[in-house]
Amino acid sequence: MSKVLIVGAGQRRSHLIDQGLEGAAVHIVRKQWLTFLHARRSTSLALVIYDLSGVDAPKTDVLLHLPETMPGTGVLYLAGTNTSDIESLHNALQRPNVDFILDTDNPRELRLRANRLLAQGEGRKNTPQNADSAALPPLHPALRHTTPRLHASNGRLDAREVSALYGVSLAALARSLGRSEQSVHKTPTSLALQPALSLYERIASLLLRLTGSETGLRTWMQASNPELENEMPMTLLLNGEGRVIAELLEAVACGEPS
C-alpha cells in the first residue's frame, strides 16, 4: 500500500482530498506545515500533497526546494487563494513527478493527477536500477527515425511518454504544443498533437542513437550548449525552436562538424 502524506490541509481541504483519493490503495498521513518542515524527510512516501492555502504555508524558495529533498516522491501542489502561488513555482513544475491543481474543489481532477503521480512512482520502483544507463539495443535502420517507447498501443505518439522521456512536466510540454494541460492530459494521443510531437520524436531518436541511453538524452538536453549560444536545448525546444536542435543533431549523426 502506497503512503501519501498531506501537508497543511485544513478540515475542508482534507475532506476534498479524501474524496479524491477514495478507492485508492493508499495509507494517508497528515501533518501541518510547521511540523512537516521541522521533521526528517521520509523516503518511503509515494506522494506528498502540499496545500498552499494555509496561513502557515512557507515562502516560494522553500516550496521550490521541497521536491529536491525527496527526489523519488511525487509532489502535488494544491493552489491557494491566489494563483500566483502556483505561477511562482514554475521551476519546480518542470519536473515530471511534480504537478499542481488550481480547481481544488474538484475531487475528480485531484484523483486523476494523484493517480498519475502514484503510477509514475510504481513504474520507477519496478524498473531495474541499471535499465536506463544500459546501452539501448540498436533499431533496424528502417525504424531509426522512430522511438517506440513514445508510442501508445494505437501507434500514435503519446504526450505522457514524451513528458516522461524528456523529464519535463506535462504542463510545460502542453504549453510548448500550444495546448492546455487539461486537454493534453485528457487526450495525450490526440491526432491534432501528432505533428508537434513528431519533432520531439525526431530529436529523441537522434539523441538515443548518439548518446546510447535515456539518461544521456536528458543530460544533453539539460546542459548549456556552446553550439546553441550556451542555451539549454530543452529550453529552446519548449520555446518552439526545436528544428534548430534537430538539424544540429542530424549534422552530428552524419559525421559533419557540429
Which of 92, 125, 158 delimits the end of a domain?
125
Task: Report yes or no on 79 lying in a domain.
Answer: yes
Which of 97, 125, 153 delimits the end of a domain?
125
Whole-angstrom distance, CA of residue 128 vs CA of residue 115: 22
The reported pLDDT for the residue numbered 142 is 41
Please provide residue 22's backbone torsions phi and psi, each rounded to the nearest 5 degrees.
Answer: -60, 130
The reported pLDDT for the residue numbered 214 is 86
pLDDT at 98 over 60: yes
Task: Report yes or no on 171 lying in a domain.
Answer: yes
Residue 2 is classified by DSSP as E
The number of folded domains in the chain is 2
Are 25 and 103 in a shared domain? yes
The reported pLDDT for the residue numbered 258 is 42
Task: Report yes or no on 132 lying in a domain.
Answer: no
Are 169 and 249 in a shared domain? yes
Are 90 and 159 in a shared domain? no
Are 118 and 158 in a shared domain? no
pLDDT (average), residues 194-207 = 93
The reported pLDDT for the residue numbered 54 is 75
Evaluate whether 176 touches 237 at the Cβ level (below 8 Å).
yes
The reported pLDDT for the residue numbered 136 is 47
Which positions ≥6 away from 107 have C-beta within 8 Å? Answer: 16, 19, 20, 22
Which of 63, 95, 125 delimits the end of a domain?
125
pLDDT tens for 20-40 read 898 888 899 999 998 888 876
Are 200 and 113 in a shared domain? no
Task: Report yes or no on 47 lying in a domain.
Answer: yes
Are 21 and 116 in a shared domain? yes
CA–CA distance from 152 to each of 40, 167, 194 (Å)? 40, 18, 12
Task: Report yes or no on 94 lying in a domain.
Answer: yes
Task: Report yes or no on 131 lying in a domain.
Answer: no
pLDDT tens for 42-87 read 668 999 999 988 778 888 888 888 887 887 889 999 887 666 667 7
Evaluate whether 198 touches 157 at the Cβ level (below 8 Å).
yes
Task: Report yes or no on 133 lying in a domain.
Answer: no
Task: Report yes or no on 43 lying in a domain.
Answer: yes
Averaged confidence pLDDT in the chain: 82
CATH of the domain at 36: 3.40.50.2300
pLDDT tens for 112-151 read 888 888 887 765 555 554 444 444 455 444 444 578 888 8
Are 116 and 56 in a shared domain? yes
Share of the chain above pLDDT 90, in %: 31
Are 7 and 89 in a shared domain? yes
pLDDT at 187 over 50: yes
Are 13 and 118 in a shared domain? yes
Are 95 and 174 in a shared domain? no
User: Quick one: which of 143, 106, 144, 114 has its CA closest to 26?
Assistant: 114
Are 118 and 185 in a shared domain? no
What is the length of the chain? 258
Question: Can you give the residue range of the structural domain that contains 76?
Answer: 2-125
* Full DSSP string of 92-138: GGGSTTEEEES-TT-HHHHHHHHHHHHHHHHHHHTS-TTTTTSPPPP
pTM over the 0.75 mark: no
